[in-house]
Amino acid sequence: MRNGGPAARIAVLPGDGIGKEVTPESVKVIRAATMSARRPLEFVELDWGADKYLREGVTLPAGAVEMLRDEFDAILFGALGDPRVPGNQHAADILLGLRFKLDLYVNARPVELFHNRLTPLRDRKEEDVKFMVFRENTEGLYVGVGGFFKKDTADEIAVQEDVNSRKGVERIIRHAFDYARKQGLKRVCMSDKSNAMTFAHDLWQRVFKEVRQEYTDIESRHLYIDTLAMEVVRDPRQFDVIVTCNLFGDIISDLGAQLAGGLGLAPSGNIHPGKTSLFEPVHGSAPNIAGKGIANPLGSVLTSAMMLEFLGWKQEAEKLRAATRAALRENFVTPDLGGDRKTMEVGDWIAARVG
Ligand code: NAD
Ligand code: IPM
Ligand code: MN
């Protein structure tokens, strides 16, 4: 497929709510940045989300995983979540389904302050808030193992299992160290709650102690998750790379996002190195602002930069980041960042810059 065909095939999955507003802006921006390439990128849009689910009862269509795995290089994802779908079954099936079934074990969520004024921390500058969160993305409390006993009675019991495999823990910890080494970063912090979660996180402790011995050039440290949350706020300069389990990574990455300007700016990649991977902003479908045309598209644009880098378009990725930096500097931004621009205006502005 790749010989003489498009440089890469990208499945575009806008999803629900503001996912449908920010994702087209990203496609526009990527098209502009890669326009002059000899072999352009190919985009194929997929309409999976709440509307389709409510219409047809379909969440993740049959054969979807195989199609994405075999026919696409990357997936650009918006967000899933709709108030009309109680429990958001479609989001679990599609988003968690793809993370698990494509075995996207690395959830990379960089925290980077692009402009001083965007952090709620007093006296912190750009260089003070810059670290990577690696969230384990295929197991932990997210696997959906559990059940109810005596449901809907006064004696009800609900059980949710925390599933941690030796292989799963090792590969994400190893990835964190490899990334640090490759990027010339000096410090890796593993975070768990092994003082209370004495089985699951004891495994994290043992694997961490073993793997760190192979990376003596890197300073490694452990913090319990509650302490990490505190330390990241007290002095974010301490951190280069953080690695943690699925649930804690979800929480600490939102905290990190806020230190760097909020959810409107935070990007992420769900990655299996060398395989079809999925890129999405950290934010959700934001039903409270959906349809108003004011969602910040920059989280999705920075997500697209991560995707381009994954696909080998490093220079173009850098263009997207530089344009985002410029928009923030010139305050050409949406209301969440104190501006008065619309989603599309910001998208057009970025596209014009990178084109
Ligand atoms: P959310 O991220 O959708 O919104 C949280 C707050 O941040 C809201 O006030 C929202 O207006 C604001 N916000 C988020 N992104 C923004 C943007 N780009 N520009 C401006 N403001 C932005 O989180 P939530 O409200 O907890 O969840 C809403 C729905 O999204 C739920 O159904 C949830 O399950 C889902 N969700 C999906 C994903 C995903 O698809 N990856 C991630 C998180 C939440
Ligand atoms: C995220 C979201 C998801 C998660 C939800 C929608 C299941 O919060 O991508 O951070 O918890 O992983
Ligand atoms: Mn989250």
Domains of the chain: 1-105+272-355 (3.40.718.10), 113-265 (3.40.718.10)
Q: Which atom of ligand 2 is nearest to the CA of 250?
A: 10
Cα–Cα distance for residue pair 225/244, rounded to 1 Å: 9
Has residue 27 got a pLDDT over 50?
yes
231 within 8 A of 224, measured Cβ to Cβ:
no
Has residue 164 got a pLDDT over 50?
yes
User: For the purposes of burial, counting CB atoms within 10 Å of the CB of 110, is it exposed (0-12), middle (13-18) or buried (19 or more)?
Assistant: buried
Q: Which of 53, 105, 142, 179 is catalytic?
A: 142
Phi/psi zone of residue 88: left (φ > 0), alpha (ψ -120 to 50 degrees), beta?
Answer: left
What pTM was estimated for this model as a whole?
Answer: 0.96
Q: According to the model, what pLDDT value does residue 345 have?
A: 98
Smallest-distance ligand from the CA of 266: 1
Has residue 21 got a pLDDT over 80?
yes
Q: According to the model, what pLDDT value does residue 217 have?
A: 97
Nearest CA to ligand 1 atom 11: 286
Which residues have beta carbons under 5 A from ligand 3 (an ion)? 250
Q: Predicted confidence band at 4 (pLDDT cuts at 50, 70, 90)?
A: low
Is the CB of residue 333 below 6 angstroms from any atom belonging to ligand 1?
Answer: no
Smallest-distance ligand from the CA of 107: 2
Pocket of ligand 2 (CB under 6 A): 91, 95, 250, 282, 284
Q: Which atom of ligand 1 is nearest to the CA of 280?
A: 41
Measured CA distances, 20 to 85, 236, 292 (Å): 17, 33, 12
Cα–Cα distance for residue pair 225/114, rounded to 1 Å: 26
Q: According to the model, what pLDDT value does residue 68 have?
A: 98
Has residue 1 got a pLDDT over 50?
no
317 within 8 A of 326, measured Cβ to Cβ:
no
Q: Which of 193, 240, 319, 336 is catalytic?
A: 193
Q: Which of 47, 70, 226, 340 is catalytic?
A: 226
Is the CB of residue 256 below 6 angstroms from any atom belonging to ligand 1?
Answer: no
Q: Does the annotation count 193 as an active-site position?
A: yes
Q: Does the annotation count 254 as an active-site position?
A: yes
Smallest-distance ligand from the CA of 79: 1
Is the CB of residue 79 below 6 angstroms from any atom belonging to ligand 1?
Answer: yes
Q: According to the model, what pLDDT value does residue 40 have?
A: 84
Q: How many Å lie between the centroid of ligand 2 and the Cα of residue 95?
A: 8
Average pLDDT, the chain: 96
What are φ and ψ of residue 145, in 5° steps?
Answer: -95, 125
Q: Predicted confidence band at 37 (pLDDT cuts at 50, 70, 90)?
A: confident
Q: Which atom of ligand 1 is nearest to the CA of 81?
A: 32
- What confidence tens digit (pLDDT) does each residue in 287-298 have? 999 999 999 999
Is the CB of residue 80 below 6 angstroms from any atom belonging to ligand 1?
Answer: yes
Cα–Cα distance for residue pair 12/279, rounded to 1 Å: 10
Nearest CA to ligand 2 atom 11: 250
Smallest-distance ligand from the CA of 284: 1
Per-residue pLDDT, averaged over 336-349, amounts to: 98
Handedness of CA 313, 314, 316, 320 (dihedral sign): positive
Residues 6 or more apart in contact with residue 17 via CB below 8 angstroms: 79, 81, 82, 284, 285, 286, 287, 290
Per-residue pLDDT, averaged over 47-72, amounts to: 97
Q: How many Å lie between the centroid of ligand 1 and the Cα of residue 20?
A: 13
Is the CB of residue 95 below 6 angstroms from any atom belonging to ligand 1?
Answer: yes
Q: Predicted confidence band at 152 (pLDDT cuts at 50, 70, 90)?
A: very high
Phi/psi zone of residue 262: left (φ > 0), alpha (ψ -120 to 50 degrees), beta?
Answer: left
Q: According to the model, what pLDDT value does residue 320 have?
A: 98
- What confidence tens digit (pLDDT) does each residue in 173-208 have? 999 999 999 999 999 999 999 999 999 999 999 999
Q: How many Å lie between the centroid of ligand 1 and the Cα of residue 284?
A: 3
Q: According to the model, what pLDDT value does residue 140 have?
A: 98
Q: Predicted confidence band at 64 (pLDDT cuts at 50, 70, 90)?
A: very high
Nearest CA to ligand 1 atom 30: 284
CA angle 201, 205, 208 (to 5 degrees): 130
